[in-house]
Amino acid sequence: MVAIFALIVLVQIFSIVISAVFLNKSHNNQIFAELEHYAKSFGESINMPLVALLARDSHYRISIIDLNGNVIFDNTFDIKTLDNHLSRKEVQNLLRNQSPKAVRLSDSERKENLYFTRFITLDSQKCILRVSIEKDSLFSYLQNFMPLFMTLLFFSAILSVILGILLTRLITTPIKNINLSHPIKTNPYAELHIFMQAISKQKKKIKKQLKRIKQNKIEFDIITKNMNEGFFVLDAKGNITQSNAKALQILRLTPYNQHINIFTLMGDFTRAIKESINSGNQTFEISINEYFLQVICMPIFIKDKLKAIIILLFDKSLQKDIFALRKEFSSNVTHELKTPLSAILASSEMLCNGLVLEKDRDEFIARIYAESKRLLVLIDKILKISFLDSSLEKNHIERENLNLANLITNILPNVQNLANDKGTECAFVGNELEANVLGIPALLEDMIYNLSENAIKYSPKGSKVQIALESDEECVILRISDNGIGIAKAEQERIFERFYCIDKSRSKKLGGNGLGLAIVKRVAKIHNAQITLNSELNQGSEFIVRFDKA
């Protein structure tokens, strides 16, 4: 719009100046013709009284100048006041036989004098006749054009605004209608073809890049989502820009506050991160919420400026727990092994040294036998627990499709022998059930045997123990119940711990060592089965294990 306006104004100025110059010039030519005509009317030779007569009422200024430049007649000014005219342009022109016409500007430049000169003989003296007239100068013409110019300028401004809007619309509407999905097809201007080609190429390139970025993002999300480690990225200010599910879980963040500034939130963690960046030590260990973590903190510097911090969180809680449990387990094992071994050693030493009376020998030998058997059972259970722990750690267990009812039927005779020895009854309900689960037969047999053995062990003579199988849409449910001594609520959690016996001396008497339910718990875990306990003190207990159907 400004350009259109400027162009119109320029054209106007140009045409006004040209017209003014042209008008001025043609006016001057016309005046010169009149001046010449008038000068010639004086004839070749004239006398002063005739000059005075001719010049008296003339609207021209008539001067007669002698060849020395002195003005000897002038009808407008007193000749005494006039200086020598020899140097005047019109006089010089004539003397040098150049043009008889001359134009001189007034001091203000608003007026100009047009002169026509010719030689005449005045009273037999060769003189110069100068006829002149004053008129408006070119500058004055231009000034006269000013109001017209301003009016035109005003209309030009309006015209250029209207033209600008119309032209812009005319040009931009087709451009606006270009479909950027098909820039070449919908391009309305041939001049834009190369440009549209470039857009089309660029579009394809961007599309490809976007696809790649999208793919990378999907891959990145899948990888980070399934990572066991927490992963997140901070910007230089400490805002979380990226994070995976595990990191959100560890830091207890939700999708709503997942972009918080970590530096403003977590005191110890923030301090540790800052310290790690400053010291250059990228790894540290810290407890956050219920987690014990190994943290790897990688600051990213670009041109010595911290740009981002990548943080990896390795959950070491389990290892820490396992380490503590192993420590406790080893001391328990040592203690539990030492007891029967010491008894065996003491009895056998006394036998060897002949310190046992003949009548007591059988009793000593029986004690050695019983303790050795107890030792063997204990070692067997300890090895089982170690095996189950390492299987759980490795998380690689091959399971087969098996029928729990068949499995129970297999071990039922052994369990019933135990019950008979104790004077109790043991029945299996649900042996006709199609109770297929994925599992490891030997471990499941162990589990069912341990639970049944406990039910028999902790029930009085004449009581009834039941092994039952049921199934619903999704699960096969194993219930082993008794109406024995029951388990107090406070003990119900702890009985699954290794070496935990509610009453140590009672368990020892009954051949227990506190490992049976620890094994049961691990076997259930390996089979992703949920184990629950319903028990009332002195009323009996029911252990329920839910397996997913195969």
513 near ligand ADP, rule: CB under 6 A: yes
Segment near ligand ADP (CB under 6 A); pick from 9-17, 136-144, 301-309, 483-491:
483-491
Helix orientation angle between 138-176 and 2-40, rounded to the nearest 10 degrees: 150
CB nearer to ligand ADP: pick between 347 and 481: 481
Bridge partners (DSSP) of residue 402 are: 437
Tokens read off for 209: 């890049």
Instruction: Find where tokens 């043609």 sit.
Output: 26
Looking at the Cβ atoms of 183 and 516, the one nearer to ligand ADP is 516
Site track 440-479 with ligand ADP (rule: CB under 6 A), x = hit: --------------xx--x---------------------
Among 422, 484, 523, 531, which residue interacts with ligand ADP (rule: CB under 6 A)?
484
Stretch that binds ligand ADP, among 14-22, 67-75, 356-364, 512-520 (CB under 6 A): 512-520
Q: Which of residues 20, 404, 485, 524 is near ligand ADP by CB under 6 A?
A: 485
Give least dist CB 499 to ligand ADP, A: 8
Q: Is 51 in the site for ligand ADP (CB under 6 A)?
A: no
- Binding residues for ligand ADP restricted to 486-505, rule: CB under 6 A: 486-487, 495, 500-502
DSSP 3-state assignment of 508?
helix
Burial call 155-190: b when 16+ CB within 10 Å, e when fewer = ebeeebeebeeeeeeeeeeeeeebeeeebeeebeee
Q: What angle do CA 72, 78, 79 make, to 5 degrees?
A: 25
Rounded CA separation 266/240 (Å)? 13
By CB under 6 A, tell whether 103 contacts ligand ADP. no
CB of 500 to ligand ADP, least distance (A): 6
- Least distance to ligand ADP, CB of residue 363, Å: 25
In contact, 125 and 119? CB cutoff 8 Å: no
Does residue number 507 form part of the binding site for ligand ADP (CB under 6 A)? yes
| Inter-residue contact 64 to 129 (CB < 8 Å) | yes
φ/ψ of 474, rounded to 5, equals -110, -25
163 binding ligand ADP? (CB under 6 A) = no
Q: Compute the distance between CA of residue 497 and CA of residue 478 in angstroms, rounded to an integer.
A: 21
Query: Is the CB of residue 403 less than 8 Å from the CB of residue 434?
Result: yes
State how far the Cα of 292 lies from the Cα of 290, in Å rounded to an integer: 7
340 binds ligand ADP (CB under 6 A): no
How far apart are the C-alpha atoms of 515 and 311, rounded to whole Å? Answer: 41
The one-character DSSP state at 80 is G
Query: At closest approach, how far in Å is the CB of 458 from ligand ADP?
Result: 3
- What contacts 24+ positions apart, CB below 8 Å, involve 370-373? 371/340, 371/341, 371/343, 371/344, 371/347, 372/340, 372/344
Compute the half-sphere exposure of residue 9: CA atoms within 13 Å on the CB side of its CA: 13
Which of 273, 512, 522, 527 contacts ligand ADP by CB under 6 A?
A: 512
User: Is 482 near ligand ADP (CB under 6 A)?
Assistant: yes
* Residue 480 Cβ vs ligand ADP, minimum distance, rounded to whole Å: 8
| 3-state DSSP assignment of residue 134 | strand
The nearest distance, CB 486 to ligand ADP, in angstroms, is 6
Instruction: State in angstroms the smallest separation of the CB of 524 from ligand ADP.
Output: 13
Q: Which of 514, 522, 523, 527 binds ligand ADP (CB under 6 A)?
A: 514
Strands (E), 418-506: 425-429, 436-439, 464-471, 475-482
Query: How many residues lie near ligand ADP (CB under 6 A)?
Result: 21
User: Please, what is the minimum distance in Å from the beta carbon of residue 333 to ligand ADP?
Assistant: 15
Is 292 or 500 the residue whose CB approaches ligand ADP more closely? 500
Q: How far is the CB of 467 from ligand ADP (least distance, A)?
A: 12
3-state secondary structure of 175: helix
Interface stretch with ligand ADP, choices 74-82, 203-211, 260-268, 514-522 (CB under 6 A):
514-522
Among 31, 541, 546, 547, binds ligand ADP (CB under 6 A): 541
Q: Provide the residue count of the chain.
A: 550
Alpha carbon separation from 532 to 139, 474, 481, 538 (Å, rounded): 114, 17, 12, 18
Span near ligand ADP by CB under 6 A; candidates 117-125, 153-161, 400-408, 515-523: 515-523
**Contacts with ligand ADP, residue ranges (CB under 6 A):** 454-455, 458, 482, 484-487, 495, 500-502, 507, 512-518, 541
